[in-house]
Amino acid sequence: MERKRIVVVGMGYAGIPVALSLAVTGKWDVTGIDVLKQKVESLNRGELPLRGKEPHLPQMLQKCLHDGTFRATTDFSAVEDAYAVLINVQTPVDEMGVPDYTHLKAAAEGVGRHLRSGTLVILESTVAPGTTEGVLKPILERASGLSCPKDFLLAYSYERVMVGRLVHNLKNYPRIVGGVNEESTERAVEIYRSIVSAEILTSDILTAEVAKTVENAYRDVNIAFANEVALLCESLGVDAYRVRELVNSLPYDPSQPHANPIRNMHIPGAGVGGHCLPKDSLLLIYSARSSGRFEVDAPLMSLSRRLNDYMPVHMFRLAKAALKRAGVEIAGARVTVLGYAFLQDSDDPRNSPAESFIKLMLFSGAGVKVHDPFVSEDSVPKGAIFTRDLEEALKGSDLAVIFTAHSVYRDIDPRQMKGLMRRAVVVDGRALFRGKESELEDAGVLYISLGRGDTLLDITP
Ligand code: SAJ
């Protein structure tokens, strides 16, 4: 039977897994489109243009190329005989939370120019609610001269990818599908049913767009709650991580299915980075405000964003106080940052919480060395010295500040730290050395942890 063609626009963290998952079923003839020639050539050579380790993807790419069920191209004409077109392009926001749809509009133009009657277009990117029908649809209609849904079909179905679990999540997480009409929803469900083993839930497009932004706003607010508990615990001189363990000891009670998990306090930390959480609540608020239906305020989500973005500043205050306690003025101090990636054992530097900390330190006249085993050197702020050599990073420093809980840091020998550093002071932003406090103390390392409070630390401004 002739395989139907599916085109996936945008060969990134979301586009590649869905393209290869569809192609590897043998049911679809998949074409991946990207504007970056080197990405297209890399894929067609069988090399994944993704950082980090993603289980299954390399083998899937080899199989699809061998079976001829996947190829990549920069040419949008592949859309002409497509049964469906999936769009997965980046949708950043500016510092005011206003979405930047440059990439989305370019993709829409490219698809629209070759769009034919009967094709289904599915937007998978995270967008401000209202974008699929308010931005994408008009561009597709103008560029193609067709109308939706009379001529072509339209749906929204968001990705739930997570670094290191791209293929796993795609297959095993429930899928949300919102169609402009019944036929759009049904065809989108048929396509996802071929790769998703979990439940497929359907809605209208706008509800699906809101659900995606709420999923991440929910996590951002919960992390902000944990960070606020950490600040309160510091002022009370108790350990926020122990408080979290006690709070989360409330059991998962099967007799109350609606109430589970009864508590799930998130983890206090040095800040919230990545490509999702820092922007998704802003997209939701932007849409609600743009709806113009009524005055919208969103104090909880807005303040949560500000609190999470304050955490690197709080780390700076802890670091300054710790240096002072060690008799070192911040101007001229030698500071080592351990971890720049936004997530442990990842090489993704996007919206790294360490960035603002490093800039504050440099502005205050400190010298900064940054160590990270995975990120590329050019992702670190200018003015800081980058090294992959941990000993080199610690040598001669007055202070080591942990921003990312990379596994490699768990094996650091406190005695070695003491020997390498000029003054052995550690500020821990990820509770990495929790449980090793006595080892650090015995080695003569002054250990300060976020969220624990140290009555001898004076962090008044
Ligand atoms: N973080 C905390 N405390 C926590 C959890 C995270 O400070 O309790 C920080 C992390 O250090 C990181 C940032 O927040 O800097 C984001 O971490 P994340 O685990 O949320 O990782 P992301 O950004 O990759 O989030 C993605 C999201 N997935 C999608 O958007 C499809 C998110 O919804 C998932 O919950 C998350 O992965 C996941 O659970 O892995």
Confirm or reject: Cβ of 267 under 6 Å from ligand 1: yes
Mean pLDDT, rounded, for 308-312: 98
pLDDT at 455 over 70: no
Share above pLDDT 90 across residues of the chain, in percent, rounded to a whole number: 88
If you measure from the C-alpha of residue 277 to the centroid of ligand 1, how many angstroms do you get, rounded to a whole number?
7
pLDDT at 66 over 70: yes
Mean pLDDT, rounded, for 214-236: 97
Would you list the DSSP string of 41-64? Answer: HHHHTT-----S--TTHHHHHHHH
Confirm or reject: Cβ of 270 under 6 Å from ligand 1: no
Q: For ligand 1, atom 34, which residue shows the shortest CA distance?
A: 162
Would you list the DSSP string of 321-354? Answer: HHHHHTT--STT-EEEEE--SSSTT----TT-TH
If you measure from the C-alpha of residue 208 to the centroid of ligand 1, how many angstroms do you get, rounded to a whole number?
20
Determine the residue of 272, 344, 355 to mutate for testing ligand 1's pocket, defined as the one with the most ligand atoms within 8 A of the Cβ atom.
Answer: 272
The predicted pLDDT at position 260 comes to: 81
Confirm or reject: Cβ of 386 under 6 Å from ligand 1: no
CA 67, chain centre distance (Å): 33
Determine the residue of 18, 229, 277, 375 to mutate for testing ligand 1's pocket, defined as the one with the most ligand atoms within 8 A of the Cβ atom.
Answer: 277
Mean pLDDT, rounded, for 265-273: 98
Task: State whether the Cα torsion 300-304-306-307 is positive or negative.
Answer: positive
The predicted pLDDT at position 261 comes to: 80
Tokens standing for residue 66? 């061998």
Mean pLDDT, rounded, for 365-378: 96
Q: For ligand 1, atom 3, which residue shows the shortest CA distance?
A: 267
Confirm or reject: Cβ of 228 under 6 Å from ligand 1: no
pLDDT at 212 over 80: yes
If you measure from the C-alpha of residue 434 to the centroid of ligand 1, how many angstroms do you get, rounded to a whole number?
21
The model's pTM is 0.94
Assess contact for 34 and 10: CB atoms under 8 A: yes
Mean pLDDT, rounded, for 267-274: 97
Residue 276 annotated to the active site: yes
If you measure from the C-alpha of residue 12 to the centroid of ligand 1, how many angstroms do you get, rounded to a whole number?
18
| Average per-residue pLDDT for the chain | 95
Rounded Cα–Cα distance for residues 160 and 216 (Å)? 10
Mean pLDDT, rounded, for 248-252: 86
Determine the residue of 160, 175, 223 to mutate for testing ligand 1's pocket, defined as the one with the most ligand atoms within 8 A of the Cβ atom.
Answer: 223
Q: Sorting pLDDT into bands at 50, 70 and 90, what band is 95?
A: confident
The predicted pLDDT at position 126 comes to: 95
pLDDT at 317 over 90: yes
Higher pLDDT, 258 or 372: 372
Confirm or reject: Cβ of 215 under 6 Å from ligand 1: yes
421-441 pLDDT tens trace = 999 999 999 999 999 999 999
Assess contact for 127 and 209: CB atoms under 8 A: yes
Give the full edge-to-edge strand order of the sheet including 153-156. 70-73, 28-33, 4-9, 82-87, 120-123, 153-156, 175-179, 200-203
Question: How long, in residues, is the chain?
Answer: 461
Buried/exposed 417-432: b ≥16 CB within 10 Å, e otherwise: bbebbebbbbbbbbbb
Residue 64 annotated to the active site: no
Mean pLDDT, rounded, for 276-294: 91
The predicted pLDDT at position 251 comes to: 79
139-194 pLDDT tens trace = 999 999 999 999 999 999 999 988 788 999 999 999 999 999 999 999 999 999 99
Q: Sorting pLDDT into bands at 50, 70 and 90, what band is 354?
A: very high
pLDDT at 451 over 70: yes
Alpha helices, DSSP H only, in 195-333? 205-236, 240-247, 277-291, 299-325
Tokens standing for residue 287? 């849409």
Mean pLDDT, rounded, for 351-362: 98
